[in-house]
């Protein structure tokens, strides 16, 4: 009986320690829904741009918690399928969508990608989150017409949904082979700060904005 009482007391103490102090609110969540580029494929833990984002937020005393829900190989269809559960679980204040690269590399339908991006943006906004779309581009060997339609899709969805936009995540270093791993798709650690710098100007206004 004594052991049971002691165990119950210990459990209560652990729960109390895990809960925010009286009057303290949990940090609002920035949900990052992405693919291998944001999952940090081929990189040591803690050096990807999502980790650098959390470090920058902390250094600037911006009280947000980054939840990186990126999965290597994910597509816009995959992100659309799993977003609802993530929104329910985390109730993000901001949702960043970095998807589409794998759609393009597989030569997928641009119309289907647009529909998926639009649906994800709408769902996140309906859940009370501000949305930031991050654009990516396909290599030139996919043809000029396909590449142009693909790249324009992000701006079209952002404009239609009144969402924030990063036109191109690799802006400023896309042609520099020294910034990429041998597959020429995934950026090296040296490029992660550049990616964050490309994201930050579009993300920063959302950190102080009120949800629509």
Structure tokens at 31: 């949900």
**Marked catalytic residue, from 35, 36, 103, 202:** 36
Rounded distance, CA 145 to CA 54, Å?
37
Angle between helices 144-161 and 110-126 (to 10 degrees): 20
The total of other beta-carbon atoms located within 10 Å of residue 4's CB is 8
| Token digits of residue 201 | 């100007």
Q: How far, in Å, CA of 22 to CA of 4, rounded?
A: 28
Cα-Cα-Cα-Cα dihedral of 77, 81, 83, 85, to 10°? -170
Catalytic annotation present for 61: no
109 is catalytic: no
Known catalytic membership, residue 186: yes
Catalytic residue selected from 72, 122, 186, 197: 186
C-alpha triplet 150, 147, 73: angle, nearest 5°:
60
> 22, 61, 177, 183: which one is catalytic?
183
The residues assigned a catalytic role are 36, 183, 186
């Amino acid at each position: 009986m004594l052991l049971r009482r002691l165990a119950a007391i210990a459990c209560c103490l652990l729960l109390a320690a895990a809960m925010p102090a009286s009057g303290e609110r949990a940090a609002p969540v920035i949900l990052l829904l992405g693919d291998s580029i944001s999952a940090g494929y081929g990189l040591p833990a803690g050096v990807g741009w999502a980790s650098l984002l959390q470090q920058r937020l902390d250094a600037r005393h911006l009280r947000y918690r980054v939840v990186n829900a990126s999965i290597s190989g994910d597509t816009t269809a995959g992100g659309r399928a799993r977003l609802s559960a993530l929104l329910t679980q985390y109730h993000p204040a901001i949702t960043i969508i970095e998807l589409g690269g794998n759609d393009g590399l597989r030569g997928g339908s641009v119309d289907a990608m647009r529909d998926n991006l639009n649906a994800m943006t709408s769902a996140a906004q309906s859940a009370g989150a501000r949305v930031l779309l991050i654009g990516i581009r396909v290599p030139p060997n996919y043809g000029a017409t396909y590449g142009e339609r693909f790249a324009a899709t992000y701006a079209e969805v952002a404009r239609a949904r009144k969402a924030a936009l990063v036109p191109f995540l690799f802006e400023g270093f896309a042609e520099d082979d020294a910034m990429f791993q041998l597959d020429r798709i995934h950026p090296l650690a040296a490029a992660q700060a550049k990616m964050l710098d490309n994201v930050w100007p579009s993300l920063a206004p959302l950190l102080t904005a009120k949800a629509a």
